[in-house]
Structure 1
Amino acid sequence: MNTLFQASHLHKSIEEHSIITDFSLELPAGEIFALVGESGAGKSTLLNMLACLTPADQGEIWLEGKEISSSARYLIPGHADIKLVPQEYRLLPNHTIRENIAYALREYTKEYQIYRIDQLLQLTGLEGVQHKLPREVSGGEKQRTAIARAIADEPKVLLLDEPFSNLDTLNRQKLKGELRRIIRETDIACLFVTHDLLDALTVAERIGVMRYGKLEQMGSPKELLKQPDTDYVKAFISSGLSILQEVKERLEL
């Protein structure tokens, strides 16, 4: 595995309360990694640290072999090659889907903007709604617009905060397939956080389970299902499987 993005021994405390403890991760290009955990596990704080929006108290973040942790301490936090899509999307309400994507490309020439927007609309399957306003499209189309805008200037890393939580079942399933295809075609490293184990199991190549700011276990879905390292991971995995079993039993009635 050739590492594109790496977090090494990250720590974060707020008013002497530990939020993130000794978090380390390596991501190659083209992989989707899911970070799961209950509310309050520190997932969103960690996401902002990985995006270089919040500085770590200790530890380092590396991109393509270069240390970038100090980016979060600059006057304007963040990093050009790492894009975070928040849970609420933050689309411009009075601008069309096409114009929302164009906003990320405003520093480029008009000719390149047209070329790249058309490319992104095709990649995300939004050609048919490109002239509609955000309030006129589905939740899944809003999420895909936010993703298209985030990857417009070709970042190396895409971070997603609960990307499926606001979607109905049909849009949720559609977005999962679209996300896998987009990451495969762009070769971006992608990490998303979620409290829903089933979303992680059906989308990610690897999953990390967080508890109280600490990574309890990391591995493929198969590894987590077959060999949970701790009682917490075992209970967390079992809770997701029990839901599946309940659905199966109800359908068999």
Structure 2
Amino acid sequence: MLELKHITLSYTANKQHNAVLRGLDLCLDHGQIACLLGASGCGKTSVLRAIAGFESLDGGAILLDGQLLSDCHHCLAPEHRNVGMMFQDYALFPHLDVTANVGFGLRRWEAAARRRRIGDMLSLVGLDGQAKRYPHELSGGQQQRVALARALAPQPRILLLDEPFSNLDVDARERLAFELRDLLKAAHCTALLVTHNQAEAFAVADRIGILKNGCLAQWDTPYGMHHHPATPEIAAFIHREAMLSRRIQAGLRGAPHGAPTAA
């Protein structure tokens, strides 16, 4: 469904040409959930911005369902791509209630169809009783669900998620990661998310890509990534992060209520 063919992307700042993506290739099938995993500055968000049409490519091509979205000569405008994006800070409108936020991208729909779609999305994310509440009246997890419902409402061909759990506390992240996967699968949605958190990637994704210096170091299933890392560096990264996560969880379980924990 999604094809990134040897894409390159760079930014110019202070007269310096900085390459961010260097010949990146990946393919994603219909209904799959994929995750790009890597440290800050490795190019994860730039991949999403290029797919969404917010950045132009220096080289390579991006195709969605066989349609050319971008290459070095052509960049289809974001509003013509039918690509949904859920931002890191959720970007909910504080002056609009849940219903209006979810229906924001449906303004051209007929009123009856719009109401049905909003109702369906609120049911999908389990917020039927919150329709008239405002973002400041919701928990972080509920705000995330509203943002997801809003992104899914226009029926995008693919959904892009930028660090969707970064605003949540440690206890909520793993639980909501599994819930997000279930919601995306229930909506039959193809999705690509980025994160620096390995536990989130393994909880959500069908395919994981390790991104390093603007290139894919490995693109594999979670099982393949864990049991057959492509390089010693990836093996060290996977096992180090897994061990740290287990230590943090053990510390949280063993600490008295309200006591600080150390990693």
Q: TM-score, normalised by structure 1?
A: 0.91
Q: How does 1:19-30 map to 2 (within 5 A)?
A: 19-30=20-31
Q: Which residue of 1 aligns with 2:206?
A: 205
Question: Is this contact kept in 1: 2:98–2:133, CA < 8 A?
Answer: yes
Amino acid of the structure 2 residue aligned with 1:111: A
Superposition deviation, residue 84 in structure 1:
1.2
Distance 1:174 1:230 in 2: 30
Structure 1 residue runs of 4 or more that deviate by more than 3 Å after TM superposition: 70-74, 76-80, 247-253
Q: How does 1:64-213 map to 2 (within 5 A)?
A: 64-69=65-70, 73=75, 76-213=77-214
Change (3 A) 1:247 1:175: closer
Structure 1 unmatched ranges of 5 or more: none
Question: Is this contact kept in 2: 1:89–1:143, CA < 8 A?
Answer: yes
Distance 1:228 1:87 in 2: 29
Specify the SS of the correspondent of 2:208. strand
Change (3 A) 1:154 1:181: same
* Match status 1:6 vs 2:3: yes
Distance 1:118 1:144 in 2: 14
Q: Deviation per CA, 1:115-140: give whole Å up to 9, x if none.
A: 11100000111112111100110111
Question: Is this contact kept in 2: 1:30–1:186, CA < 8 A?
Answer: no
Distance 1:188 1:195 in 2: 22
* CA RMSD across the alignment: 2.0
Distance 1:214 1:73 in 2: 22
Q: How does 1:40-51 map to 2 (within 5 A)?
A: 40-51=41-52
Question: Is this contact kept in 1: 2:4–2:24, CA < 8 A?
Answer: yes
Superposition deviation, residue 186 in structure 1:
2.1
Structure 2 unmatched ranges of 5 or more: 256-263
Superposition deviation, residue 78 in structure 1:
4.7
Change (3 A) 1:85 1:248: closer
Question: Is this contact kept in 1: 2:210–2:218, CA < 8 A?
Answer: yes
Question: Is this contact kept in 2: 1:53–1:72, CA < 8 A?
Answer: no
Identity among equivalent positions (%) equals 34
Question: Is this contact kept in 2: 1:37–1:210, CA < 8 A?
Answer: yes
Task: Answer with 165-174 or 131-140: which moved more.
Answer: 165-174
Q: Deviation per CA, 1:197-238: give whole Å up to 9, x if none.
A: 111011111110011111111111111111211232122212
Distance 2:135 2:124 in 1: 18
Question: Is this contact kept in 2: 1:93–1:133, CA < 8 A?
Answer: yes
Distance 2:158 2:249 in 1: 37
Superposition deviation, residue 65 in structure 1:
1.4
Distance 1:126 1:72 in 2: 40
Amino acid of the structure 1 residue aligned with 2:151: A
Amino acid of the structure 1 residue aligned with 2:143: K
Superposition deviation, residue 252 in structure 1:
8.1
Specify the SS of the correspondent of 1:21. strand
Count of aligned positions? 249
Amino acid of the structure 2 residue aligned with 1:81: N
Distance 1:192 1:21 in 2: 19
Distance 1:173 1:229 in 2: 26
Superposition deviation, residue 64 in structure 1:
1.1
Change (3 A) 1:196 1:227: same
Superposition deviation, residue 43 in structure 1:
0.7
